Amino acid sequence: MRAESDDTGEEVSGVLVALADPIRRGLLDLLAELGEATATTLAEQFPVSRQAIVKHLAVLDAAGLVTGSRVGREVRYSLRPESLDAATRWMSSLAADWDRRLAAIKRTAEAAERDFT
């Protein structure tokens, strides 16, 4: 398996930690649907306080998954889906490594079966 650069590893780790929480995944889904929204609007859809939503949005922001922009007195949040790219590349690489390993096991097993019969 290839080693990741420290920057990429930290980026992937931040994304995976952020995605581990179901409320944060729900926030991403809702932002994907709405395009952008305030913490107040988002909090109306979840069984937690607005303050809790703001904390979840801060985690998503730190992971690079959302961005907040001030419009007057409000902060409007929107998705930054490009931040999923590093995590997607890492998962694809991991899957490819496992595919290669499983193919090698299959070849070994098939060869053993031919030799046995």
CATH of the domain at 73: 1.10.10.10
Token pair recorded at residue 74: 């409000």
Residue 87 lies in a domain: yes
User: Is residue 96 in some structural domain?
Assistant: yes
**Domain annotation covers residue 51:** yes
Per-residue pLDDT of the chain (117 residues; tens, 9 = 90+): 444 455 567 778 889 899 999 999 999 999 999 999 999 999 999 999 999 999 999 999 999 999 999 999 999 999 998 878 877 887 788 888 898 999 889 988 988 888 887
The Cα-based distances of 22 to 16, 74, 75 in angstroms read: 12, 25, 22
**Interstrand relation of 36-38 and 74-79 (parallel, antiparallel or unpaired):** antiparallel
Residue 1 resides in a domain = no
Q: Is residue 23 part of a domain?
A: yes
- What is the number of structural domains in the chain? 1
CB distance 53 to 27 below 8 Å: yes
**Structural domain containing residue 90:** 6-116
Its pTM stands at 0.72
Paired with 14 in beta bridges are none
